[in-house]
A = this chain, B = another copy of it.
Amino acid sequence: MKKREYNCGLDAAVDVVGGKWKALILWALHAAPRRFGDLHRNVQGISEKMLIQQLREMESYGLVHREVYHQVPPKVEYSLTEFGVSLNTALIPLGEWGERHRATIEAIPRD
């Protein structure tokens, strides 16, 4: 996130959820809390570094809660806060749109 002032709500929302991974991570957390390794397996293609970086950012935004269990080997669970749930809910129609038009989107030529 770069800006502090926005022209409209969508501007602000895209700034929060933009980037390659945030929406996917949010999505992966929608059903239940997940451990770090679990998320790593679930969000395909993400590196450990990126995963943590994004989780930390979202934690600082108040979207995600981080729960540490003091065990060895360590266990850390991530879950959505209420704020995170509300964002996830707002993303549902966009996800459905993407699902509905997936073939079209994948067929768009790029170079």
Interface residues of A (CB under 8 A from B): 1-2, 4-20, 23-24, 27, 43-44, 60-62, 83, 86-87, 89-102, 104-106, 108-110
Instruction: Give the nearest-CB partner of A18 in chain B.
Output: B18
Residue of A12, A20, A44, A104 contacting most chain B CB atoms (<10 Å): A12
In the bound assembly, the distance between CA atoms of A83 and B103 in angstroms comes to: 13
Chief secondary structure at chain A's binding surface: helix
Cβ of A95: which chain B residues have Cβ within 8 Å of it? 8-10, 13
* Contacts A/B (CB < 8 Å), 29 sampled: A1-B105, A4-B106, A6-B102, A8-B95, A8-B99, A9-B95, A9-B96, A10-B23, A10-B95, A12-B105, A13-B97, A14-B20, A14-B24, A16-B98, A16-B105, A18-B19, A18-B20, A60-B108, A60-B109, A61-B108, A62-B104, A62-B108, A83-B104, A86-B97, A86-B101, A87-B97, A89-B97, A90-B93, A92-B93
